Amino acid sequence: MHKIMIALAGAGLLALAGCASTTPVKAEAPQAPAKTEAAAAPKAQLTEEAKQALAKAEADIKSAQAKKALWIPAQNALKAAKAAAEKNDSAAVIKHAREASEFAQLGITQTQYPVTTISK
C-alpha cells in the first residue's frame, strides 16, 4: 500500500512538472471592430405583442408575489424575457413572458390546493 501511494505521488509530480514547463501563449492585441452595415442600421423595435406579453408577465409575477406564491422558474423566465427585450428579440420575449405568466398563475393556483400532512 505504501509503495502504491509513493508511485501515485511521483506520477502526480511528473504531471505537474510537465505542465509547468509549457510556454504561455501570447495574447494578440485587440483589433478595432470593422464597421458593418448592421451597426449602421437602425435597431429593431419590439413588436406590440411582445410588449403586451412582457407587461402581462410582470403583472402576473407581482400578483403571485403578493400572494406569496411566486415560483423561482417564473422569476427566471421574467429575467430572460427582460434580457431578450434589451436585445429587441420579440420572439424570445413572447416565449419567456408567456412562460413566466404560466408559472406565476400555476403558483397562485397551487395555493388553493388542500394542505396535506405527512404524519399524524
Asked if residue 76 belongs to a domain, the reply is yes
CA distance 97 to 82: 8
Task: Judge whether 43 and 88 are in contact, CB under 8 Å.
Answer: yes
**Cα 105 from Cα 111, distance rounded (Å):** 10
| Within a domain: 55 | yes
pLDDT in tens, 18-44: 655 555 556 666 666 555 544 444 567
Q: By C-alpha distance, which of 91, 94, 98 is closest to 74?
A: 98
Q: pLDDT tens digits for 53-66?
A: 999 999 999 999 99
pTM exceeds 0.85, yes or no: no
Residue 5 counted as domain residue: no
72-91 per-position pLDDT tens digit: 999 999 999 999 999 999 99
Domain of residue 74 covers: 50-110
pLDDT surpasses 80 at 115? yes
